Amino acid sequence: MNEVERIHETCRYVEEHSDETLSLEMLAKKAKMSKYHFARRFKEVVGVTPKQYAAEMRLRRLKGALKEKRSVDDALYGAGYGSPSRVYEKAVRSLGMTPAQYRSAGQGISISYATVETPVGLMMIGATDRGICFAQFGDSTAELLGRLGAEYANATIVPAQEPYHSDFPKWVDAISRYLAGAQPHLDLPLDIRASAFQMRVWKYLQSIPYGDVASYGEVAAAIGRPSAARAVGGAIARNTVALIIPCHRVIRESGALGGYRWGFERKRALLDLERSHRGDRKERPRVTPKIQG
d(CA 201, CA 214): 12
User: Which residues touch 32 (CB under 8 Å, ≥6 apart)?
Assistant: 6
Q: With contact defined as beta carbons under 8 Å apart, do 132 and 188 qualify? A: yes
User: Which residues touch 208 (CB under 8 Å, ≥6 apart)?
Assistant: 214, 246, 249, 250
Q: Tell me what percent of the chain is helix, strand and coil, each rounded to the nearest 5.
A: 50, 10, 40
Catalytic residue among 114, 201, 223, 247: 247
| SS3 state of residue 258 | coil
Residue 247 among the catalytic residues: yes
d(CA 40, CA 47): 10
Q: With contact defined as beta carbons under 8 Å apart, do 245 and 239 qualify? A: yes
Q: With contact defined as beta carbons under 8 Å apart, do 42 and 23 qualify? A: no
Q: What is the DSSP string of 71-101?
A: -HHHHHHHTT---HHHHHHHHHHHTSS-HHH
CA 193 remoteness from chain centre: 7
d(CA 73, CA 77): 6
- Would you name the residues annotated as active-site residues? 247
